[in-house]
Structure 1
Amino acid sequence: MKDEDWIALRPGAWAEPKTAVDPGLRLKAAQLLHPELVVSHRTSARLWRIETWEGGAPTGGADGPVDFTDPLLTSRRRLTGVHVHHLPLADTDVETMGRHRLRITSVARTLGDLLRSGPRDDALVAVESALTQRRFAETPRSPLITPTALADALAAPLLGGTRARQWLTLVDLGAGSPAETLARLRMRDAGLRPETQAEVRTRGGRRPGHGPLQRDRALPRGPPPPPLPGHGRLPPPVPHAAGDPAGAVRVQGVRLDSLSHPLAGKKP
């Protein structure tokens, strides 16, 4: 078939010559060979235009293994480039998408699977993306699900459900990107209490910037922290000026306890 220019999609599946092959067609080929499989987890998230974070980088393409769920618990063969999850699916957990008529897990089930399987940071990046408006290729995408609907989806008695419901309490709808979600979670793990999308203003009305803000801890000494993958390096720590109190923090050279911000002057 190669001699006749047929295109190999995966072992046992070929497309006619000159066929425009896209990731959806390759997924459909796998489903035609194994009709029990349903696109799920991170692969489903990408198709729903939900941001994920794998291996330290935001993902949105089709590189790497793809995820399917086998609700019949029958597929035990190893499939090249495929990660098969053996989980039950209700009829309401499965939808049909796109011109290839892919069978895919619903938004609620997709997020539930990511929360139940972890890791935490990857799952919360996806959850906060789905719950908020995001932009893909300059096109706005509205929120895909409500917090209430997601909480209802996590009520199912599945493995990992208790931990998933605990992680759901960490969601912040103020996050506007995967990097913001990760920054907030790392700050929280360090014992800080960041305020998402904090607006800082000087008494003169100037706005030095936005982002997760922690008022009551001094900036760390030593070398600057490593950058988040795919993002610029954070600025180096700003030395405290003479006369600053021990817990003072400076942002762009301005001491926070001199700002007209609701966090200024508050203790932890």
Structure 2
Amino acid sequence: MELVRTFVVNDWELKIAFNEPDHSGVPSKSNPSHIAPGAGKYQIIAFELASVKVTAGEALSLLAQINGENIAFLYTELYLKDPERDYYYGPLMHEHVRSKVEKEINGLIHPVWDSDINLSVEIAPLIRVLTDGINAAFAFMHPGRYGQEEVQLEGLFTKKNSGKADRARLKFDLHGEMIDKQIILEKRGRLMTHDLVIKSGDMFIPAVHVLTTQNLATPQMRSIHGISGTITKLEDPFHWVDEAPLPGDYLLGLVIEDFNGDRFHHYLPFTIVGE
């Protein structure tokens, strides 16, 4: 059954829609019998917030200690809890954790993590909103390549009067301006990207990741896919703006990615209270 939820953020009416899972939930990624050489092996020694209650505008302080090997990237992410149901929507924010030691490989910057990792990270919760100047939707974005100041947003793109939706990816700088746009097509079992031209009347619907309570206990469990509202190309290009977070319950996630590209998600609950 499709569930539609509406949130009001600074006069923006933002929607989320997705199909509720059955009781069996969403399957986790299967564990192969053969462990590839790049598989991550780690243990979380400490993982806590300095305070589990903050006000809007106040930063979270995350402390974590990890022991392990084959760790390629670390991320933080934030999810908003549905006030009436056991679902979490996001990621409101999803960012690389920068390492003190980095190296350049083929022109790209990569973090270098020791076997003992001690993290102290400050995160100021925000809600990012994508707008066409009139309509708006949640902008649950993901980081670009490590060390680059860009974010990307996936969703469904529909050309005016075509009736056909294709997967697309929009890239933005950290000031909210769009810097690249691509259509994602499947060809012979492979995903291919092509430059996308957005004209007046074309539409874009941002993607949403939905977590259930099972995700909190299963680090590799897949999220449910949903969508936000529809925005339409008008006079100005699509852009995103920052808004203050809503009072309510949230999750802070620490994501560990190994050299095989597998990701493991660990979460802590926290609350944003009204000022």
Q: TM-score, normalised by structure 1?
A: 0.23
Higher helix share goes to which structure? Answer: 1
TM-score norm. by structure 2 comes to 0.23
Bigger radius of gyration, 1 or 2?
1
**Which of the pair is proportionally richer in strand?**
2
Q: Which has the higher contact order (CA 8 A, sep 6+)?
A: 2
